Amino acid sequence: MSRPLPLLVTLCLAACGGPEGLPDTDFPDAVGQSPAAAVAVGGGLKTLAATHGITFGGVAKRSAIDNDASFRTTLTREFNLVTPENELKMKFIQPNRKDEFLWGDADALVNYAQNNGLALHGHTLVWYKVPPWVDSTALGEREAVMKNFITTVATRYKGKVWAWDVVNEVFNDDGSYRNSVWYQAMGTGFIDKAFWTARTADPAAKLVYNDYGIETVNAKSNAVYAMIKGLQAKGVPFDGLAFQMHIKQKGLDYQSFADNMRRFAALGIQLYVSEMDVATDSHPATAADLTAQADVYWNILDRVLQQPAVKAFQLWGVSDKYTWLPENDPLIFDAAYNEKPAYAALEHRLQTGGFSGRYTLVNKRTGKALHVAGSAQTNAAAVVQYDVHEDWAAQQWSFNYVGGRSYQLLNHHSALALKVKEGSTLEGAVLEQYSPDVSMDSEQWELIYAGNGYHALRNKRSQRLMVAFPGDNNTPVQQYSPYVPTAEFTDSQLWTLRRVP
């Protein structure tokens, strides 16, 4: 059919409502509303995350809030949860002696969160890093010191904290208990006592154990698993486990991460990503470093959103301007508060809802499905549109994320990938299926959410959209530039993704 010349305009993007089966939230009313609900206005990643029942958090220090307007703007625009970086730690509140508490910095952070609609993650009540005076305290006095700190701090901020990191970093990497001042005095019993004391002081807050290096199934996470089961067997109040998630750009074993979350979720507890950052290999980071970093962020968030027990996704910072890893550019905003590829990766995963399982792609204009002609299982078979039969394997596609916000679309019947024929970049080029090869950009497709449940699919090589014009069954599916001269052609470029049961 004839068509007018394309007008090179961009499809409007909007936030989607997320995938089916979103988890219900059940946060305590710590700030007048649940953290995930504290996003009625303002946009940002927090709003997208809330559609998945996830609270999106960052870390702040008082000096940044007091002195950096860009930091304040970015924090309140993008996040609905904040963790004080140091201000609630014993070394900062009680640095000199047991009868002196310094509240200025902590009060400032708590008040800022309250006044700006941010839920507060209290970090941390019990840690092995303590002020020097605690090290010199007699063993028999340390339990009283610990309980006094927990009670005093948690009572002061009672009802203002969504979740407390009650105990932090108990284990060595091999799964043995760290020989902390608390362990020396009370053995493993200090953990039970800490959680009981926190529950008494702040009954509504979630009580959490927080640690690093426990993201995958390993000796350390096995020790944490055994500890939690032990706490539960004794009836100790325990609500959640936080994975710190300090990762290098090479990433980690994502399947092991998913398996690990699954076994902890089976204990009936909530899960959190509490301190995520991704250290690049060089500084300043190269383009390749930033792409690899973005893929790590995407992959972690992807597994998180597939696990309903996860209730929060928090970064250990906001901008590379303030980070404990200044030589590794680990966050999603650079030092000038520009969005990095990692920001786009998180935004993309939250917008699209992610794609696990199989889908039938149905064109908005024609109502027909993306289909392999003749249900062929051979290379170069044409990809066409056909009446919808969601039970036909030739109409079922899975999405393999290949990085850079792009996917391979793999046909369930043939196991071959959707591709522009001969890698063409021309208008009107037809589509086919071919052997999967992640190095071929003609097999890579970016999904653009266009609102109301519709997506456009843009080929990475040609930068043209997949389109289905009105026609009979077996009409070829083609690629064309984005343009909006008529409603007919707009609709022809949009697809719904129907999840196969």
Give me the amino acid identity at 463.
Q
CA distance 52 to 20: 10
Alpha helices in 36-68 (DSSP H): 44-50, 62-67
- CA-CA distances (angstroms) from residue 151 to 108, 156, 347, 444? 20, 8, 39, 55
Alpha-helical segments (H) within 306-403:
341-352
> Which of 180, 99, 97 lies closest to 132 in space, CA to CA?
97
Eight-class DSSP state of 437 = -
Which structure tokens are listed for 27?
């946060």
Residue 168: strand, helix, or coil: strand
Q: Contact at 8 Å (CB) between 265 and 307?
A: yes
The residue among 475, 479, 477, 441 whose CA lies nearest residue 460 is 441
Active-site amino acid positions: 169, 275
Q: How far apart are CA 121 and CA 161, in angstroms?
A: 6
- Please enumerate in sequence order all residues whose Cβ is within 8 A of that of 327, keeping only pairs 6 or more positions apart, or say none: 283
Give whole-number Cα distances, 201 to 121, 149, 154, 205, in Å: 16, 11, 6, 9
Q: What is the 3-state secondary structure (H, E, C) of 460-484?
A: CCCCCEEECCCCCCCEECEEECCCC
Q: At what angle do helices 341-352 and 287-305 cross, to 10 degrees?
A: 30
For residues 243 and 209, give the distance between their C-alpha atoms in angstroms, rounded to a whole number.
9
Alpha helix stretches (DSSP H) within 208-328: 219-233, 254-265, 287-305
Q: Tell me the Cα Rg of the chain.
A: 26
CA–CA separation, 323 vs 308, rounded Å?
A: 29
